[in-house]
Amino acid sequence: MKLSKSILAAGVGIAALASASLAHAEPTAEVLHWWTSGGEAKAVAALKKDFEEHGGKWQDSPVAGGAGDAAMTVLRSRVLSGDAPSAVQLKGPAIQEWAEQGALANLNDVAKKEKWDEVIPQRIQEIMKYKGDYVAVPVNIHRVNWIWSNPELLAKVGATEGPKTWAEFNTLADKLKAAGITPLAHGGQPWQDATIFETVVLGMGGPEFFQKALIDLDEDALKSDTMKNVFDEMRKIRGYVDPDFPGRDWNLATAMVMNGKAAMQIMGDWAKGEFLAAGKVPGKDFLCSATPADNGNGFLFNTDSFAMFKVDGEDKIEGQKLLAELIVGKKFQKTFNLLKGSIPARTGVSLDDFDDCAKKSAADMAADEKTGGFLPSMAHGMALPGHLSGAIVDVVTAHFNSDMTSDEAMNRLVEAIELAKD
Amino acid sequence: MGASSSTESNLMASLQRNLSKIVVAPSFAASLFFVYGFIIWTAWMAFSKSRMMPVYDWAGLRQYERLWQMERWHVAIENLLIFGGLFIVICLFLGCLLAVLLDQRIRAEGVLRTVFLYPMALSFIVTGTVWKWILNPGLGLEKMMHDLGWATFKFDWLVNSDFAIYTVVIAAVWQASGFIMAMFLAALRGVDQDIIRAAYMDGASLPRIYFGIIIPSIRPVFLSAIVVLAHLAVKSFDLVIALTGGGPGYSSDLPATFMYTMAFQRNQLGISAASAMMMLATVMAIIVPYLYSELRGGKKNG
């Protein structure tokens, strides 16, 4: 009896081994990400389902915490020990930094087959490519420069839509303030200060100036009169927020607009998710408008993407290719972006099911792409590598939270960038 | 048979002789590697050009130069001086005062001692979060006063970049002074009662007994308390993260939060390693003289 049991166990073991070696051929992908809550978690689940329906084996490696800081620490140690995950949620210039280390895989055959060059916007292609080769795939496009406003409060001072120029913004904010309404809901965290800053740079200077100042880091632009006006405007905006703003999370600021405690918020379209989740209707309960533009329209984008790391083994390489194909595919782009509140990072996806703000976002993007106004966001790590954008954010937040003069802020900006560069 | 039993007893004897060393060896090896090994590695990183990944190109003192040119580092150091100084002084004063008051053989001593000591059982994250709510002008103390009708009451340190660091002091003092009290209380109880009685006989007043006899005789406890508080101050991280998040702006940054930002958010491993070495140097400056005096003192006594 005992003998037959052990024979049985051995048989089961061999069967398990056999099935394991059979399973070896199925495309496998380990995905490292930090989308662990709310709409983001649902969006990842959608990708997983899609991947498994195509015969893939999905290994989930979620690392929550610190808006990705924790995941990056895990990634560093995994790569150093020679055991990189197949796909990692990475964005902006971080992709280039990893590619420079020689850690990323080449996706050119998938790109060619799926005609990525034709469907992905040029500016986003540049971020996904390293020396002309695709190494990462985009999943969405968030627009950063939105103003979300409460129509009821705007109506109290006779306004029906968001301001078109910064002068209009100031007049409107002064009126609101005089009426006893907090004009701007804002959370005093460095990245939120930087979000306002970059929309002011884009609005007052125009797309060309934004490119020079915050992407090329041209010293003349950083010390120009326009930049001085930008810092002056930041000082004004400081007067339009309520006194309790420091440390507030962005979603609480969004709630202030929703609950009629403040009239407007400058924030990317992830804020829309908060309105929609509360059952609010765009155009009726809340308004979305592009941030003021004095010098030509612009669209600051924040794109999430997955970078594909070099992996060993046929099953893993196949899995990686399948994953890349599915991520850029129309089906995933639609489901994911409906859940996340962003718009697809490719053309050819029907927008019928999307809300009005997303439709406006897509229309503006198409228009701004032609005029050169489609630009990567600095505050959200799309335009510059971490050490440079960090240096800028430091100065912006120090200026916003103190009584530093605009001239001093400009000097510090140039110094901080120089220091971070070498 | 006889031979094997004698080797066995030999083995047993040598095992017994070296048992303590064998038991300690793994933890010794582990701390040698994980503590001192990584200190050396960090020191090395601080001389390298490392950014996102550790690299070993020699950069000399360049990372230290960059560190000291950064405005944010100066803010962090200044905050450490303010925070560390006030935290140590206030904790010592309050701890000592509470211990002396509790030492008066009062009735509810057990309860009071527990009340004062409990904050120490909380994690700094909890302390930080609670004080964040209390000190937030729109949520806590200020709002409560306004609701009670005191409309001019103003306490906005948490959201004021010039005063945010002082809120960290308040929360840290609240947490640690009970522990210091316990240290002092134990020492006070250890003072020889005969001397005190003798002083009473001589007609010395109570304050005079405390200042003249008891406090001087518990001097070593002051030193221990200072060392405990000083290293708490230097490594302070979670409290700031929970309470102010380093803000407004970066006005309440401390060296530890600075180091975290540089290493994990800015891809500046070199600068971050340099700042870690500066922190180590600060702690050494406090600990080494202490250890030196302790060890020397030990010899003298022995």
DSSP code of A164?
Answer: S
- Evaluate whether A37 touches A270 at the Cβ level (below 8 Å): no
- Report pLDDT for B4: 59
Asked whether the CA dihedral B7, B11, B12, B13 is positive or negative, the reply is positive
| A5 band by pLDDT with thresholds 50, 70 and 90 | low
Give chain A positions within 8 Å (CB) of B158. Answer: 246-247
Q: Do domains A26-142+303-360 and A143-301+372-421 have the same CATH topology?
A: yes
- Evaluate whether A269 touches A377 at the Cβ level (below 8 Å): no
Give the span between the Cα atoms of A276 and A288, in whole angstroms.
12
Give the span between the Cα atoms of A294 and A146, in whole angstroms.
15
Give the chain B residue nearest A395 (alpha carbons).
Answer: B249
Nearest to A69 among B71, B161, B264 (CB): B264
Give chain A positions within 8 Å (CB) of B244. Answer: 246-247
- Evaluate whether A181 touches A172 at the Cβ level (below 8 Å): no
- Evaluate whether A199 touches A184 at the Cβ level (below 8 Å): no
Domain spans of chain B, in order of start: 1-36, 67-301
Give chain B positions within 8 Å (CB) of A380. Answer: none
Question: Taking the CA of residue B224 as centre, how many other CA atoms within 13 Å lie in the half-sphere pointing to its CB?
Answer: 13
For the domain made up of B67-301, give the CATH fold: MetI-like fold (1.10.3720)
- Evaluate whether B103 touches B274 at the Cβ level (below 8 Å): no
- Report pLDDT for B198: 87
Query: Which residue, among B68, B162, B251, B265, would best test binding to A if mutated, counting the most A CBs under 10 Å from its CB?
Result: B265
- Report pLDDT for A14: 47
Asked if B139's CB is within 8 angstroms of A390's CB, the reply is: no
State the CB neighbour count (10 A cutoff) for residue B57: 9
CATH of domain A26-142+303-360: 3.40.190.10
Domain spans of chain A, in order of start: 26-142+303-360, 143-301+372-421
CATH of domain A143-301+372-421: 3.40.190.10
Nearest to A244 among B138, B161, B265 (CB): B138
Interface of B with A in 131-170 (CB under 8 A): 132, 136-139, 156, 158-159, 161, 164
DSSP lists the bridge partners of residue A307 as: A88, A136
| A6 band by pLDDT with thresholds 50, 70 and 90 | low
Q: Is the pLDDT of residue A44 over 90?
A: no
Q: What angle do CA B106, B108, B111 make, to 5 degrees?
A: 135
| A67 band by pLDDT with thresholds 50, 70 and 90 | low
Nearest to A397 among B66, B250, B267 (CB): B250
> In 3D, which of B177, B133, B175 has the Cα closest to residue B158?
B133
Query: Which residue, among A387, A395, A396, would best test binding to B if mutated, counting the most B CBs under 10 Å from its CB?
Result: A387
Give chain A positions within 8 Å (CB) of B79. Answer: none
Tokens of B188: 């006070």
Q: What is the pLDDT of residues A324-345, one digit of tens each?
A: 999 999 988 998 888 888 899 9
Q: Is the pLDDT of residue A217 over 60?
A: yes
Helices (H), chain B: 2-31, 38-45, 62-69, 71-102, 109-117, 124-135, 141-147, 164-190, 193-201, 206-209, 215-217, 219-234, 238-243, 255-260, 269-301
- Tokens 């792409």 belong to residue: A369
Cβ pairs bridging A and B (under 8 Å): 91
- Evaluate whether A95 touches A307 at the Cβ level (below 8 Å): yes
DSSP lists the bridge partners of residue A90 as: A305
Query: Which residue, among B264, B268, B271, B272, would best test binding to A if mutated, counting the most A CBs under 10 Å from its CB?
Result: B264
Give the span between the Cα atoms of A100 and A76, in whole angstroms.
14
List the strands of the sheet with A136-138, edge to edge. Answer: A57-62, A28-33, A87-90, A305-308, A136-138
Asked if B248's CB is within 8 angstroms of A188's CB, the reply is: yes
- Listed as ranges, residues in chain B with pLDDT below 70 are 1-5, 297-302
ipTM: 0.75
Report phi then psi at B220, rounded to 5. Answer: -55, -30
Q: Cα-Cα-Cα-Cα dihedral of A57, A59, A60, A66, to 10°?
A: -140
Nearest to A401 among B53, B161, B267 (CB): B161
Asked if A73's CB is within 8 angstroms of B267's CB, the reply is: no
- Report pLDDT for A4: 52
